[in-house]
Amino acid sequence: MRRTFSRAELDSFRDAVVPDLLPTSPDQELRLLFVGINPGLWTAATQTHFAHPGNRFYPALLQGGVILEPIDPAAGMTDADRDALRARGIGITNLAPRATAKASELTRAELEAGGTALRALVERLRPRVVAVAGITAYRTAFGRPKAVMGRQPEPLGPAELWVVPNPSGLNAHETVASLARAYGDVARAAGVVDN
């Protein structure tokens, strides 16, 4: 059942942190690490990545065959939902940890620090593929002003590095179908989905 929040309730989550969704034991393989820009206020309120009702992340994962059952994150992801993602080798983190109403509230320094922190996380967890959701944030975080969408020419430590479209409803150029194609591509590269 979807929760609702008043503007004041959502504002109370400004600067909150949402824990990463990562393996909980050494025997869980991390194949694909999705990297958001930062948590939105709805994400912080529900403690669930990509939770805003207008976000197309989970519908695109389902349509692309990356997940097998629908997830309604706006209500708050269940432990079973989290376990299902981990069982498929999927993790989620963010470039910047603090929640804001809009990603544009982040500073360049926060995104650059996030790029450094992501490198360290990838070195430690060694996913097959890292998929950063958002070209502008990627360019800023990694000092790559001319980067384009898709597989990047250089890996991120041991991982193949991709930039995929941001699933936010504010990204009007993308549809669930176009996001599903992009997310399916990275899932195939990571071995989450068969070729």
Q: What is the CATH number of the domain that holds 150?
A: 3.40.470.10
**Whether the predicted model's global pTM rises above the 0.85 cut:** yes
Q: Is residue 1 part of a domain?
A: no
Grade residue 171 by pLDDT with cuts at 50, 70 and 90: confident
Mind listing the pLDDT tens digit for each residue in 97-123?
A: 999 999 999 999 999 999 999 999 999
Q: Please report whether residue 152 resides in a domain.
A: yes
Q: Is residue 179 part of a domain?
A: yes
- Quote the CA–CA distance of 125 and 159 in Å, as a whole number: 10
Amino acid at 163: V
Q: Is 195 within the bounds of a domain?
A: no
Place of tokens 């393989």: 29
Instruction: Decide if 63 is inside a domain.
Output: yes
The count of structural domains within the chain is: 1
Please count the residues of the chain: 195
Query: Is the Cβ–Cβ distance between 152 and 124 less than 8 Å?
Result: no
132 lies in some domain? yes
CA 145 from centroid of its chain's CA atoms: 21
User: How many angstroms separate the most distant Cα atoms in the chain?
Assistant: 46
- 7-40, pLDDT tens digit by residue? 999 999 999 999 999 999 988 999 999 999 999 9
| 2 lies in some domain | no
